[in-house]
Structure 1
Amino acid sequence: MNKGKFIVIDGIDGSGKATQADLLIERLRREGRTAAKADFPQYGHKSAGLVENYLNGAYGAAAEVSPYVASFFYMLDRYDASFGLRRELEQGNIVVSNRYVSANMGHQGGKFGTREARQRYFEWLDRYEYGVFDIPRPDLTIVLHVPPEVAQTLVDQKAARGYTSGASRDAHEADLNHLARASETYREMCALFPDFKLVECAPDGRMFSIEAVRELVWEQVTKII
């Protein structure tokens, strides 16, 4: 049996990741493919407890928490999910994930002041995630690019989420500077890594329709399935 394909939809908060992941799964199933969805972090699971604490400010302001330390919170959660991911892939299925290692690369990578420091972090993260923890490596990571100001407005339109303890934004979403740095880091990642593809969702500051973004995502997916 051929190994399945692992596709990640990523981008800053408010970029429409979950919506596009759901639409992609629907389309794959209509095309006769067996597709499963993953969501990270796994809010509500024990494995994501440290992530929830971090995003709620339990360890201080997110910007002040070392990107290396914060990455371990997310890393352990992905390790917990990796067994299920691997089973799906070994069965020849397509897995579509809303966020993955790329989310740490973007959000935590944005905390570094230089590209050189960021590159060292990317190499460290890759070594731990795919070497030490041996989690599945994606075949394709699609980054949805939305201007930070637009993304923050879209975050405010979301329904309440349990992990934010009643707040409308988590620590990352509330910090526009953080979102801006993460946005630039995501762009940098797409230039560095051939399996990362940038999808512009609002090239002139106005969001494309959900349907238009769906087609741009599908265009990238058809190149690997």
Structure 2
Amino acid sequence: MQKMTGKFIVIDGTDGSGKATQTKLLVERMMAEGIPVKTISFPQYGKKSCGPVEKYLSGKYGTADEVGAKAASILYAVDRFDASFEMRQDLEAGTNIVADRYVGSNLGHQGSKIEDSDERKEFYKWNRELEHILFSIPTPDVNIVLHVPTATAIQLAKDRGGWKADIKTDIHETNPDHLRKAEQTYLELTELFDEFKLVECVINENLMSREDIHNKVWEIVKNILNS
């Protein structure tokens, strides 16, 4: 008899797209329907494994461009490696996992530092091998990419008084040029890899309600859970 395994679902996407909100709504929906689920958020702020990531985000190692894409990626990969052991146990026990950000965040943010298209695609290959082969961290069944255009995200941030005033107000979020490049990189990922599914969160320049976005996310997740 084949051992039943849980599904691994990632909520990722551009800055200001409501990843934490959609993760919460999805987990609540799954729990309400009696579907076994755990959730995790990356980076794991406050944990020892995340220490170098926090220093990087605070600018202690230099600007985002000064810290190379591969060097920064390794910092994040170590944090995910630390979490991977418990995650694997949960998945093997049949528990589903919903992650707020994952490897796709490395591909989106760090890949945006690389302007040459061929070089960037080679980086994607290197990063995926680093995480899933060298570190053997679990591979998601689906990466849901929430897309809010950068101009909209910046305006929303201004409307709510600026980016979140904690460690997450980082050298990425405070750099509009980086945000625009990362947006394009995320869109490229949805074109290159079948497991990256795009969810548009803005229609006719209007941000959709969190409930309507959740319904779009749920349609994707239902298919994964039933596969």
In structure 2, C-alpha distance between the alignment counterparts of 1:41 and 1:213, rounded to whole Å: 23
Number of matched pairs: 220
Tell me, which stretches of 5 or more residues in structure 1 are unaligned? none
Does the CA contact (< 8 Å) of 1:155 and 1:173 recur in 2? no
Match of 1:18 among 20, 25, 34: 20
CA distance in 2, matches of 1:193, 1:185: 12
CA distance in 2, matches of 1:146, 1:130: 28
- Unmatched 5+ residue regions in structure 2? none
TM-score, reference length from structure 2: 0.93
Alignment of 1:1-225 (within 5 A): 1-155=3-157, 157=160, 159-161=164-166, 163=167, 169-225=169-225
Q: Alignment identity in percent?
A: 47
In 2, distance between residues paired with 1:160 and 1:96?
Answer: 25
Residue 96 of structure 1 aligns to a residue in which SS? strand
Counterparts of 2:66 and 2:154, CA distance in 1: 21
Partner secondary structure for residue 63 of structure 1: coil
| 1:83-126 CA-partner distances (Å, limit 9, x unpaired) | 11111101101100000000000000011112101110011011
Shift of residue 138, structure 1, vs aligned partner: 0.1
Separation of aligned partners in 1, 2:186 and 2:165: 26
Query: In 1, Cα distance between the equivalents of 2:154 and 2:83?
Result: 28
Separation (CA, whole Å) in 2 of partners of 1:51 and 1:159? 17
- C-alpha deviation, 1:152, in angstroms: 2.7
Q: Which amino acid aligns with 1:126?
A: R
* TM-superposed deviation, 1:153: 3.6
Whole-angstrom distance in 2 between the partners of 1:91 and 1:18: 25
